[in-house]
Amino acid sequence: MKKIHNNNKCTGCGACYNICPKGAITIKGDELGFYKPFINEDKCINCGLCEKICPLDKYKSQNVEQPKILAFQNNDKEILFKCASGGVFAKLADYVIKQNGIAYGVIYDENMIVSHSRTDNLIDLEKMYSSKYVQSDTRNTFTQTKEDLESGKLVLYSGTPCQIAGLKSYLQKDYENLITVDLVCHGVPSPLVFEKYKQEFMAKLPATEKLLNIDFRSKVEGWKEELVTTTITTTTTTHAKLDNFMRAFLHNLSLNKSCTQCQFNKLPRVADLTIADFWGVDDFDKSLNDDKGISIILINNMKGRYLLEHLPKECFLAEVPLAVAIKYNKNICGTSTAHKNYIEFSQEIAGDKTLRDCIKKYDKKPVYKILYHMLPKFIKNFIKYEILKMEK
């Protein structure tokens, strides 16, 4: 089987897989587990559809370059607690499903593989709430989305910017009944790194244990970026700065190569709405932060604006200047830079090295930084706003 596209650029969005009329394209993991398309030349009829709908190098967004931005918090506190930040996707999907529509989002499947899934009910929707910091397999959801749209269903599709660009390229036309939501994406970590992480975690436990869920952004100690909660029959909470998987992710050791040259993390954005954590909210307005989670929403076109007008007004907290949003979310209009040891880390991870050993070798952190990230929030704020201010 041959590759369809330069692997350094390919995002693995799945558009080519969904469009192929002969099933000649297979999506499978490369040496780092990243989803890439491969073509079976015996089945290929050289129709060229895969090249035609590939969004790389040719997808152009028609959205506004200066989106209106709102701070948002879900008014259902129980659902808010289960979401990574302000619970935007949950509220949007709730509205769509109650209109007899369909929501597409990311779940853990029965094998704890991160993948896109379809739901028309609020019970299954809950599986999509929390953040999964791994590249997701879109599978045949583009084909399913088209079928739902053609049947007249209202559809909400959420994904990374490259996945939304892939979906729109695959559809080849705009559907009024399609609402797309992309994320301010730091980049997607390697599925292989995730597999090693799970194996190393489970190796510490009795053989009878089963991994049920990994919540990378648990709120058991409030809204933070520092927590990882792994749930089996018991719950383990770890600071992300000490967690091997999150250290690899946050320091850009495990990202897809295409993420470091992303064509879609820019303005104008590709989706109708873009969502992100409202990092920096304390500098903007401390009164907005109740430590339960808050998001920002970029309204990229009239369709996104129309949808938000149908949500409860109490969910919207304030209008946020674009400059403020970009200051704390650089990936609104920029790509992540690969770690200086990215190549060496990738080579050893693809071999027989453990994640633990690779992190120990390539992510050496000063002790004071580790200790700082373990401090309670009020102490961090005291250092940030009082001690550092006095030194100035």
For residue 256, give the nearest of 15, 36, 18 by alpha carbon: 36
In this prediction, residues 176-197 reach a mean pLDDT of 97
Range name among 72-81, 136-145, 231-240, 371-380 with the lowest pLDDT average: 371-380
**Rg of the chain in Å (alpha carbons):** 21
Q: Kindly report, residue by residue over 225-270, the tens digit of the pLDDT.
A: 777 888 888 888 888 888 999 999 999 999 999 999 999 999 999 9
Helix spans in 8-140 (H):
15-19, 49-53, 77-82, 88-98, 122-125
Phi/psi of residue 377, nearest 5 degrees:
-60, -40
In this prediction, residues 207-232 reach a mean pLDDT of 88
Predicted local distance difference test score (pLDDT) of residue 242:
87
Does 274 have pLDDT greater than 90?
yes
Position 33: which residue type? G
The DSSP line for 243-281 is -HHHHHHHTTSSB-GGGGG-SSSSSSPSSSEEEEE-TTH
Separation in Å, CA 74 to CA 61, 68, 69, 80, 298: 28, 19, 16, 6, 16
Tokens of 117: 């899934």
Question: Given the structure tokens 């035609």, which residue do they identify?
Answer: 52
Angle between helices 342-350 and 355-362 in degrees, nearest 10: 160
Is 128 in a helix, a strand, or coil?
helix
Does 385 have pLDDT greater than 90?
no
> What distance in Å separates the CA atoms of residue 20 and residue 268, rounded to the nearest whole number?
29
Tokens of 275: 């969502």
With 0-12 / 13-18 / 19 or more C-beta atoms within 10 angstroms meaning exposed / middle / buried, residue 87 is: buried
Does 143 have pLDDT greater than 90?
yes
> What distance in Å separates the CA atoms of residue 55 and residue 63, rounded to the nearest whole number?
16
- Global pTM reads 0.92
In this prediction, residues 81-106 reach a mean pLDDT of 97
Tokens of 237: 């909470």
Is 94 in a helix, a strand, or coil?
helix
Predicted local distance difference test score (pLDDT) of residue 392:
46
Strands of the 273-277 sheet, one edge to the other = 114-119, 102-108, 155-159, 178-183, 273-277, 295-299, 68-72, 316-319
Give the contacts of 306 (CB within 8 A, at least 6 positions apart).
none
With 0-12 / 13-18 / 19 or more C-beta atoms within 10 angstroms meaning exposed / middle / buried, residue 387 is: exposed
Does 163 have pLDDT greater than 60?
yes
With 0-12 / 13-18 / 19 or more C-beta atoms within 10 angstroms meaning exposed / middle / buried, residue 134 is: buried
Predicted local distance difference test score (pLDDT) of residue 142:
98
In which band, very low, low, confident or very high, does the pLDDT at 382 lie, cut at 50, 70 and 90? low
Predicted local distance difference test score (pLDDT) of residue 4:
61
Question: Per DSSP, which regions of 58-167 are E strands?
Answer: 68-72, 102-108, 114-119, 155-159
Is 365 in a helix, a strand, or coil?
coil
Tokens of 349: 């991870």
Whether 136 and 183 have beta carbons less than 8 Å apart is answered as no
Angle between helices 355-362 and 191-202 in degrees, nearest 10: 110
The pairing of beta strand 102-108 with beta strand 155-159: parallel
Does 177 have pLDDT greater than 90?
yes
What domains are there in the chain, each with its CATH number? 2-53 (3.30.70.20), 67-366 (no CATH)
Q: Classify residue 368 by its DSSP letter.
A: H
